[in-house]
Amino acid sequence: MSTELKRQIGIRTATAFVVGGVIGVGIFLTPAGMAKSLGSPMWVLIVWLTMGVTALCGALCYGGLSARFPEAGGGYVFLREAYGPAVAFMYGWMAFLVMDPGLTAVLAVGLATYAGQVVDLSPRGMQAVAIASIVVVALVNIRGVRLGAWFVRGLLFLKIGLLAFIFLWAVGFQLGDWSNFTPFAARRAGSPPLIDALAGGFVGAFFSFAGWWDLGKLAGEVRDPKRALPRALSFGVVGLTIIYVLTSLVFIYLVPMDQVTSGETFAAQAGEVLFGRAGGVVFSLGVVVAVFGCLAAVVMSAPRVYFAMARDGLFIRSVASLHPRYETPAIAIALQAALASVLVMVGSFNEIMSYFVFVVIVFIALTVIALFKLRRSAAHNGGYLTPGYPVTPVIFLVLLLVMLVLLFGDKPKQALLGVAVVSLGLPVYLFLFRDRRLVEKEGQL
């Protein structure tokens, strides 16, 4: 049975994947927390632009790695090439058991929760909607890469269309007040200390941008990857920065900063200014569409890690097979969907997920550090060089270090427990997969 993925994704779809996979509920909630704590339109703008520049540095790093190793798996492949199969396996172990099904379940439940604000749903009804959304997206992606890509592009079009409509409707009909931006630089009375506000703002902005690096998982299916992957990542991050800045500005235009209490009320207030009593329903529909797009992107990209692991002999061998008709990693997609559906039924996965955020950032940092190690063998791999090296990886690593310090300082026990659980993957690799992988490699010689 075939294990070779076809290259069917172009640069436009790849860019749409970056933007569509990132813009979720955070675009409606994060601006509120930033506006309330920073207390100044200027500082809100500074945080978004700073995060955009640093994320672009990270995108250039991942673009270079993806161009050098254009195969399915993304971070798993980069870690394997730089540090060997043991580190790569621990990354895949965490992704399969916790992060991917957990994130899928979080998105599906979030989608169902906002759908329940549009149509009255019981707890069981929201659970059913969450599982149904997972199953639908999984079936779409099993049916074909092109169909999955079309699905992601279509949902992105709806997201951008809604955000553009909100912006044009608000400004065109002068529904807000430009005086909300004055004073532009001075902070409002009662704002928390600037250092604390900036720390919270950067954390919120970082997680609002989180996920652009997942495009690397689809590198084995992107046409002309050495050209398309770096460009798609860069274009996507720039597009995200513009969208977040404009959305935050229009929210501040609609609602005075001193009236902000929480993300949910901020969105509701903005919606009421725009559409009257129906504003809450309109914004809930917008969140449903935004989260559905994120869900589609996660279900499309995440299974490529298990597929790559299986091809390397580090996972169940059958997971490396493709559907005989649709030529997609159907078993890998079905596994992720099944685990996520179980988590939806069990519940209480949000807290579990929070234990592994610290470790995810550690793996991202290791991936970027791999650039310095892999640069020595650049000639062997086609000589692709990361733009701005070594400045770009250093800037992004500084951001990651700051994030790790903030997260560890806030919840050290969760961070350490997450590291401990991921470390358990090492004995699993040593006792179950190392010898089998060596035997398979010897048999191929």
**Helix (H), strand (E) at residue 297:** helix 279-301
Please provide the size of the chain in residues: 445
Residue 225 has pLDDT above 60, yes or no: yes
Q: State the average pLDDT over residues 278-295.
A: 84
Across the range 117-138, mean pLDDT stands at 91
* Residue 76 domain flag: yes
Q: Is the pLDDT score of 379 beyond 70?
A: no
- Cα(6)–Cα(4) distance, rounded to whole angstroms? 7
Question: Domain with 23 in it: what CATH number?
Answer: 1.20.1740.10
Is residue 131 included in any domain, yes or no?
Answer: no
Mean pLDDT value across residues 66-89:
93
- Segment 428-436 mean pLDDT: 79
Residue 297 lies in a domain: no
Residue 187 included in any domain: yes
Asked if residue 242 is part of any domain, the answer here is yes
Judge whether 110 lies within some domain.
no
Q: In the chain, what percentage of residues exceed pLDDT 70?
A: 93
pLDDT at position 265: 64
Give the pLDDT of residue 305.
95
Is residue 259 within 8 Å of residue 252, measured between CB atoms? Answer: no
User: Rounded to the nearest 5 degrees, what angle is found at the Cα of 26, between the Cα atoms of 23 and 30?
Assistant: 135
* pLDDT of res. 61: 94
Could you tell me if 367 and 397 are in contact, meaning their C-beta atoms sit under 8 angstroms apart? no
Number of domains comprising the chain: 1
Angle at 351 between CA 350 and CA 357, to 5 degrees: 85
Residue 319 within any structural domain of the chain: no
- pLDDT average, residue stretch 372-392: 72
pLDDT at position 349 is: 67
The structure tokens listed for 34 are 């930033």
Q: Helices 194-209 and 26-38: crossing angle, nearest 10°? A: 170
- In tens, the pLDDT along 200-210 reads 899 889 989 99
Best mean pLDDT range from 289-303, 350-364, 422-436: 289-303
pLDDT at 444 over 50: no
What pLDDT is attached to residue 1? 52
Distance separating alpha carbons of residues 383 and 43, to the nearest angstrom = 40
Give residue 437's pLDDT. Answer: 56
User: ∠ at Cα 392 (215, 400), nearest 5°?
Assistant: 70
Model confidence at 341, pLDDT cuts 50, 70, 90, reads: very high
* Domain span including residue 159: 11-101+144-277+353-439
pLDDT for res 30: 82
Average pLDDT for 282-288: 82
| pLDDT at residue 162 tops 50 | yes
What is the structure's pLDDT at 83?
Answer: 93
User: HSE-up of 164 (CA within 13 Å, CB side)?
Assistant: 6
What CA–CA distance (Å, rounded) separates 265 from 143? Answer: 40
- Top mean pLDDT of 178-187, 262-271, 327-336, 339-348 is at 327-336
Average of pLDDT values for 198-224? Answer: 92
Question: In 3D, which of 246, 244, 247, 252 has the Cα closest to residue 212?
Answer: 244
Q: Average pLDDT in the 279-287 region?
A: 80
pTM of the prediction? 0.90
For range 217-227, the mean pLDDT: 92
Tens digits of residue pLDDT in 24-63? 877 877 887 788 889 899 999 999 999 999 999 999 999 9
Is residue 17 included in any domain, yes or no?
yes
Model confidence pLDDT, tens digit, residues 228-254: 999 999 999 999 999 999 988 988 898
Query: How confident is the model at residue 263, as a pLDDT?
Result: 61
- Tell whether the torsion through CA atoms of 344, 347, 350 and 356 is positive or negative: negative
What confidence category does residue 80 fall into, taking pLDDT thresholds of 50, 70 and 90? very high
Indicate the burial class of 320 (C-beta count within 10 angstroms; 0-12, 13-18, 19 or more): buried
Contact 148, 156 (CB under 8 A): no
Instruction: Kindly indicate the confidence band of residue 442, based on its pLDDT and cuts at 50, 70 and 90.
Output: very low
Amino acid at 98: V
Query: Looking at the predicted structure, is the pLDDT value of residue 384 above 70?
Result: no
Q: What is the mean pLDDT of the chain?
A: 87
Average pLDDT over residues 356-372: 93
